[in-house]
């Protein structure tokens, strides 16, 4: 997994300020975690003790909640998240090849983030636009009818070092 970014003093100070707002409010664990993630981009593992103390929970309970919600992350993620569809419609129209090519272009496996924190790679079951299969999403933008040339075009700048 990506270990290129360590939590900075500034990140921890921002986290402590957020944690202080939610002190002794067990019910507020989820909003607190979401706010930290919005602010810093993820929930650094070293902040879990402070979150547990503030909310009156055990660190294992906080960790359990983070693990349960797939939209909460304990590692840094890329500024753009690339999601390649693995649903049936995309699969039968070449989704597997698209995923393989994206992995090659970004030099990433699923769940990983580029060292420059530009991209993270994920797969999804279906993004709901099967008629455009095979699909991938970069950030909020859906790219339909993907083929090897389009994948290359999409990540061309990356290959050129841009």
Which of 8, 88, 104, 153 contacts ligand FES by CB under 6 A?
88
Alpha carbon of 142 to those of 9, 28, 72: distances in Å? 36, 33, 22
Judged by CB under 6 A, the chain residues 121 through 140 that form the site for ligand FES are 126-130, 133, 135
Candidates 54-62, 71-79, 80-88, 149-157: pick the segment binding ligand FES (CB under 6 A).
80-88
Q: Which is nearer to ligand FES, 62 or 84 (CB)?
A: 84
**Contact indicator for 86, 93 with CB cutoff of 8 Å:** no
Measured CA to CA, the distance from residue 140 to residue 131 in angstroms comes to 18
Out of 43, 85, 106, 121, the residue judged to bind ligand FES by CB under 6 A? 85
Q: Is the dihedral of CA 130, 136, 142, 143 positive or negative?
A: negative
Chain contacts with ligand FES (rule: CB under 6 A): 85, 87-90, 126-130, 133, 135
């Amino acid at each position: 997994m990506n270990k290129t970014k360590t939590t900075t003093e500034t990140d921890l100070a921002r986290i402590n300020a957020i944690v202080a707002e939610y002190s002794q409010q067990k019910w507020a664990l989820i909003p607190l975690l979401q706010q930290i993630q919005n602010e810093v981009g993820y929930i650094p593992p070293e902040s879990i003790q402070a979150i547990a103390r503030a909310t009156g929970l055990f660190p294992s309970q906080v960790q359990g909640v983070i693990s349960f919600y797939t939209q909460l992350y304990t590692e840094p993620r890329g500024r753009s998240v690339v999601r390649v569809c693995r649903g049936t419609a995309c699969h039968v129209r070449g989704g597997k090849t698209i995923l393989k090519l994206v992995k090659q272009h970004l030099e990433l496996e699923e769940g990983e983030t580029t060292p420059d924190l530009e991209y993270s790679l994920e797969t999804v079951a279906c993004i709901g636009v099967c008629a455009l299969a095979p699909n991938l999403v970069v950030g909020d933008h859906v790219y339909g009818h993907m083929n090897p040339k389009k994948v290359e075009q999409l990540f061309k700048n990356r290959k050129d070092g841009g």
